[in-house]
Structure 1
Amino acid sequence: MATIISRSAKRLHYANLCFSFHRMRLHSLSLSPSTSSSVLAGANLHDRAFPLHSGLGMNFLATYMRRLYSTTSTTADSQSPASEKSGESNSSEGDKSGKSNEGQDAGKPVRGGPVSWLSFLLLVATGAGLVFYYDREKKRHIEEINKASTEVKQGPSVGKAAIGGPFKLVNHDGKQVTEKDFFGKWTLIYFGFTHCPDICPDELQKLAAAVDKIKKAGIKIVPIFISVDPERDTVEQVREYVKEFHPDLVGLTGTSDEIRNVARAYRVYYMKTEEEDSDYLVDHSIVMYLMGPEKMEFVKFFGKNNDVDSLADGVIKEIKQYKK
């Protein structure tokens, strides 16, 4: 660009000189030949004293400037396509490189994303495993609860329960008895009342059958029935009642205070329900107590869930272990 400007300045200076010389020539035509020759002889085209004047020289200068501008424009245009081409080539190369990079990035898997297929599958598998484990543990826990509620677990005993103690009652023959009358004998005691519609008869039948089975094993045991309804269970009522189940069954009754004391000693619950005249029921514990021969001490209890066989086998097992 600097070369073009310098070249243009030189051309303008030369054109100025030419225009000045041409003007002087036109002026010399009106002078004498000697004067004109001397003027022309002293004129130097490279002398800066020759000014640029208007007239024909200005027209020539305008024509020259137009040609110079066209030449400069042509030169600039000839150079600008190259620059534009270079710019376009650079931009095209940039676009191509960008597209190539985008293509390469599109072909490559995205790493470091928040969730990948492998992590998603592992998450699903872990969740399914936790759900399965929770359901299995829940079912097992429910089964254990149901099993514990239907079965009496036999575990090692720690000491002896404070069950049993002294009492004073009347048997079905009207004779007064105490706990001392049963010392040296194995006894199996059940608390109930003679007006019981279903539970007491079922339990006493089970007791009678178990006693017979225990006798076959060579073990003698005394079954005892203690009433928790002293108002209605008289001696006569108890005697008639126990005869219906087993000849060895001993029936015991007494006053309200005596029954209360013996029930408290054996941790037995009982309570009269709503009363309609003389017809009522007594809610009570459904338990059988196995008492040992030495001062009638407590050995083990058996609940309603035991049948005849489990009751008889349990009593036989306890007695054999006690003898050892």
Structure 2
Amino acid sequence: MRAISSLSRTSAFLGRSLNSPSGFGAARASLSQQSVRSRISTPLAQRCSSAQLFRRAYSTEQPPKEAQPAKEKERSSSSSGSSGPGGDGGIKDVLSLFPSSGPLSPIGIIFFLLSSAGIVYVFTVKKEQIRVERENNKNKSEVVGKADVGGPFELTDQDGNTVTDKALLGKFALIYFGFCHCPDICPEELDKIGEAMDILERNPKTKDAVQLVFVTCDPQRDSPAEIKKYLQQFHPGFIGLTGTVAQIAAMCKAYRVYFSKPPRVDEGQDYLVDHAIYSFFMDPDGEFIDVYGKDKTATTMAIDIEKRVNQFLDAGRKIKK
């Protein structure tokens, strides 16, 4: 206001000077007026500019902001929420990295993980059920085998003594059915059995743990003396058994052994007997364990027999020797 009042007085003074008749005075008055205006206007502009800057610097009013998009507001609010201690801003920041829908969304990922866990659980349970079922079937087959193979018998050995099934109890028994006039199959199988016994006799646990038994399927020709002479070329631990046709037929039926010979044979005529080529392995209780065919070697037989004997001994059982 003081600047405006001073400007008014100066303007009045200049007006009076311009009305004077002196030309030199008029020119000087004009120059003086311009100089005064220039001197007054410059400080006034500077003062106005300084006042505006001062007012802006110390003003508490905020300049108007442009409208922000909704997504930017959400992001700013989520970032401001994460700054507080104990807030869930960190979880929101992580979830904001995933799409809100689709297979890669948080719900889609959770559903995938739950489905995978369910599949793994189902397959694990099913696998365990299959294993238990196989184990039960195996046990059933073993029980059936023990019930179907073996039984009581009464025959004559190579020394003319009567032998029953009770004589084999207390030891493992390996029983082979054949005949003394067999050209090739029986000698090969009896040699293999003898080699397996030689392997087992090297181990103190399995030595004398198995009784070898030879049962003829041709009792009409295989007398006790013939059997004794025949078995001497194999292992000395063999017991040779023979008997009547009915006795041999009953024992072969109990052990599920097939044999057949020609229906009509003349006196002194040579012939072959067709029979099953198996060795039956029985435990000390007279129960059936396993059967060994032509595919088994002496080594594989010895390994399997040794395993069975060790299992029997580890269970606290004893073998009669």
TM-score (norm 2): 0.51
SS of aligned partner of 2:236:
coil
Q: In the alignment, which residue of structure 1 is the partner of 2:171? A: 185
Q: In the alignment, which residue of structure 2 is the partner of 1:195? A: 181
Deviations 1:63-106 (A, max 9, x none): xxxxxxxxxxxxxxxxxxxxxxxxxxxxxxxxxxxxxxxxxxxx
Q: In the alignment, which residue of structure 2 is the partner of 1:292? A: 283
Q: Identity of counterpart residues, as a percentage?
A: 40
| 1:308-323 to 2 correspondences below 5 Å | 308-323=298-313
Matching of residue 306 in structure 1 with residue 296 in structure 2: yes
SS of aligned partner of 1:229:
coil
Q: Which amino acid aligns with 2:309?
A: I
SS of aligned partner of 1:197:
coil
Deviations 1:87-127 (A, max 9, x none): xxxxxxxxxxxxxxxxxxxxxxxxxxxxxxxxxxxxxxxxx
Q: In the alignment, which residue of structure 2 is the partner of 1:211? A: 197
* Distance (Å, rounded) in 1 between the aligned partners of 2:283 and 2:199: 18
Q: In the alignment, which residue of structure 2 is the partner of 1:176? A: 162
Matching of residue 258 in structure 1 with residue 241 in structure 2: no
Matching of residue 271 in structure 1 with residue 260 in structure 2: yes
Unmatched 5+ stretches in structure 1? 1-154
SS of aligned partner of 2:201:
helix
Give the C-alpha shift of residue 156 in structure 1: 3.8
Unmatched 5+ stretches in structure 2? 1-136, 316-321
Q: In the alignment, which residue of structure 2 is the partner of 1:224? A: 213
Q: Which amino acid aligns with 1:237?
A: E
Residues 157 and 201 of structure 1: CA distance in aligned 2, closer, same or farther (over 3 Å):
farther
Contact preservation (8 Å) 1:189, 1:290: yes
Q: Which amino acid aligns with 2:259?
A: Y
Deviations 1:244-284 (A, max 9, x none): 10111110000000000000000000000476632110000
* Distance (Å, rounded) in 2 between the aligned partners of 1:322 and 1:203: 26
Q: Which amino acid aligns with 2:252?
A: A
Tell me the C-alpha RMSD between the 2 structures: 1.5
Q: Which amino acid aligns with 2:151?
A: G
SS of aligned partner of 2:183:
coil
Q: Which amino acid aligns with 1:172?
A: Q
Q: Which amino acid aligns with 2:224?
A: V
SS of aligned partner of 1:224:
strand
Residues 312 and 249 of structure 1: CA distance in aligned 2, closer, same or farther (over 3 Å):
same
Tell me which of 271, 275, 296 is aligned to 1:280. Answer: 271
Contact preservation (8 Å) 1:193, 1:229: yes
* Distance (Å, rounded) in 2 between the aligned partners of 1:163 and 1:322: 20
* Distance (Å, rounded) in 1 between the aligned partners of 2:243 and 2:160: 10
Give the C-alpha shift of residue 231 in structure 1: 0.6
Which structure: larger Rg? 1
Contact preservation (8 Å) 1:273, 1:283: no
Give the C-alpha shift of residue 242 in structure 1: 0.8
| 1:111-150 to 2 correspondences below 5 Å | none
Deviations 1:154-188 (A, max 9, x none): x9442321100000000000000100011101110
Give the C-alpha shift of residue 319 in structure 1: 1.8
SS of aligned partner of 1:216:
coil
Query: Which 4+ runs in 1 deviate beyond 6 A?
Result: none
Q: How many residue pairs get matched? A: 169
Contact preservation (8 Å) 1:190, 1:287: yes
Residues 164 and 263 of structure 1: CA distance in aligned 2, closer, same or farther (over 3 Å):
same
* Distance (Å, rounded) in 1 between the aligned partners of 2:251 and 2:303: 27
* Distance (Å, rounded) in 2 between the aligned partners of 1:285 and 1:273: 16
Residues 207 and 157 of structure 1: CA distance in aligned 2, closer, same or farther (over 3 Å):
farther
Give the C-alpha shift of residue 322 in structure 1: 2.8
* Distance (Å, rounded) in 2 between the aligned partners of 1:308 and 1:274: 35
| 1:48-197 to 2 correspondences below 5 Å | 156-158=138-140, 159-160=142-143, 161=145, 162-197=148-183
* Distance (Å, rounded) in 2 between the aligned partners of 1:179 and 1:276: 31
Q: In the alignment, which residue of structure 1 is the partner of 2:71? A: none
Contact preservation (8 Å) 1:193, 1:282: yes
Q: In the alignment, which residue of structure 1 is the partner of 2:113? A: none
